[in-house]
Chains A and B, each alone.
Chain A
Amino acid sequence: MLETLIGGIVIFTLATFLGVELINRVPTTLHTPLMSGANAISGITVVGAMIVAGGGHGWISAVLGFMAVVLGMMNVVGGYAVTDRMLQMFRRKPEAR
């Protein structure tokens, strides 16, 4: 049982260091889209929400799962869409010149 926990902690720690390296390279100009984009990634919880909602474990799970899928999906779709909208504004400038 505890092995899976330890394995997860190893992955979590390594991914945190990777995240620090990646994020430090993002220029300040893009920090807002970075945040909304990262936010969309944290909407990955929707995967857990789908497992809960579709697992067939009774109505409590279905109701909580449904709510979690809605929230997760708003996070995912809203996050990616608004990030795309912002990044488009940054892209079109050099071409316009």
Chain B
Amino acid sequence: MPGALAEILYLVAAVCFIIGLKRLSSPGTAVHGNRLSAVGMLMAMVVTLVDRGIVTYSVIAAGLVVGSALGLWMARAVKMTAMPQMVALLNGFGGGASLLVGGAEFLKSELIGQNLGLDTSITIQLSLLIGAVTLTGSIVAFAKLQELLPGRPITFPGLQVLNATIFLAIVALSIYQVATPESLLWPFYAVCALALLLGVLLVIPIGGADMPVVISLLNSYSGIAAAMTGFVIRNDVLIISGALVGSSGIILSQIMCRAMNRSLTNVLFGAFGGGGGAAVTSGKSAEGLTVRQVSAEDAAVQLGYARSVIVVPGYGLAVAQAQHLVRELADQIEKRGGEVKYAIHPVAGRMPGHMNVLLAEANVPYEKLFDMDAVNGEFDRADVALVIGANDVVNPAARTDSGSPIYGMPILNADHARSVIVLKRGMGSGFAGIENELFYNPRTAMLFGDAKASLGKLVTELKALA
């Protein structure tokens, strides 16, 4: 295949990625968009096999078979609640691949004593650094989400100074490597080891509640790592795809930060939340306040005669695996003539858009899912706000209490509804570890118990209601 044709086919592959992403702008076209993107990937791989001076196919074939089988198995087996872990792992794989390709290119030049050009030398160093940080950072994020590691921030005095020192050491070693004409092994190994360590140390002080931001950011890194690999092997399709993914991750992290009213710096270096930090002890105490409990029967009556109900799902709902029961409950309410909407806070799940996926899995039509800005005005007209396993995202302290750690965070106006029913396991506090005034509001009724059990009772009671 002539080189020009190969370049054009690579370009076509990149265009497939671009159109594929564009088609993700609506649920109707998204399936095709994703498949088009996959076709582009296949094309880029075939062109590479034919055109890029490949001499041994056996190693590649073995890698393709093993990788595809494992990837397909993961994609089939993963539960929708575990999607954040899955994406974290995939990010890590991408980063790992970049690290390995950068490393292999470097070792090849060292072995045959070839001088790397200045540009290749620089991009190899970047590929190693970003790839390694993405790999180990993602593994730590995965372990935290999978609860193999505690979700609370793990930190120690001087951690940030240590991180800065490691980073500067990597930069210094990289400059030394680039400035030396021949390829040196010891700075190479040192850079790899330090960058792998840095990935761990950067993510370990970040609390479980902030993982959506971290995953988005690591997604961005995995894209930038791919782009750096593109610089190393001089391949534009890698640079374009990497840049596309890099920007997507950055945008999603910004959206998540805005939804929590935090800056990216604060998320990354603030060691916030999870009940472990000292910063979360402020906020109003609940002493002297009483909560009003409600029985499932009474709550069912209330829901049965409501004209309009807004469901506020939180991660507690997903943990209890009760998404299907919520839909059943909504069906019952709708059968009785009520209207049901879902108010999704941007941080309702464990990653951007996670709650939407969980509800879609339970066959909730996506037209009924509303994001915060679209639905917040409607709480004033709602008869019942049904809060299930959500806490911080409906805490009015975010609006009123300037001493609260979540002050300024945009919240869902559940307290504006005529009445509020909260399904909750007990009176424990949320991710941010603070009291919620909403639970003590006279218009709020608490239905304690496991979300799944409570919802089951509500559905039975509603069915029994004549």
Contact = CB atoms under 8 A, between A and B. Distances in A.
Contact of A38 (B21, B119, B237): B21
B5 interface: no
Interface string A6-25: 00100111111111101111
A80 B71 CA distance: 9
A15 B223 contact: no
B71 A18 contact: no
Contacts of A80: 34-35, 37-38, 41, 75
Nearest to A28: B371
B423 interface: no
Nearest to B74: A78
B245 A39 contact: yes
A87 B94 contact: no
B56 interface: yes
B18 A45 contact: no
A38 B219 contact: yes
Contact of A16 (B122, B247, B364): B247
Nearest to B350: A32
B56 A69 contact: no
A31 B233 CA distance: 31
B74 A51 contact: no
A91 B346 CA distance: 21
Contact of B230 (A43, A48, A76, A83): A48
B40 to A, nearest CB: 8
A57 B245 contact: no
Interface residues on A, range: 35 or more
Given A26-B24, A26-B25, A69-B67, A44 B37 contact: no
Interface stretch (B82-90, B163-171, B289-297): B82-90
A5 B37 CA distance: 26
A37 B304 CA distance: 41
B96 A73 contact: no
A40 B38 contact: yes
Q: Which of A4, A11, A76 counts the most B-chain CB atoms under 10 A from its CB?
A: A76
Contact of A57 (B21, B60, B108, B360): B108
Given A24-B251, A85-B75, A43 B93 contact: yes
B363 A38 contact: no
Interface string A52-69: 111111101110111111
A6 B229 CA distance: 15
A89 B323 CA distance: 14
Contacts of B227: 12
Interface in B83-134: 83, 86-87, 90-91, 93-94, 96-98, 100-101, 103-105, 107-108, 111-112, 117-119, 122-123
A8 B230 contact: yes
A39 B240 contact: no
B86 A69 contact: no
Given A32-B354, A39-B245, A78 B75 contact: yes
Contact of B90 (A5, A30, A39, A94): A39
B34 A48 contact: no
Given A64-B107, A69-B60, 15 more contacts: A2-B119, A5-B231, A13-B243, A35-B215, A38-B244, A38-B249, A42-B94, A48-B97, A48-B238, A52-B101, A60-B107, A72-B93, A78-B86, A80-B41, A80-B75
Interface of A: 1-2, 4-5, 8, 11-20, 22-58, 60-62, 64-94, 96-97
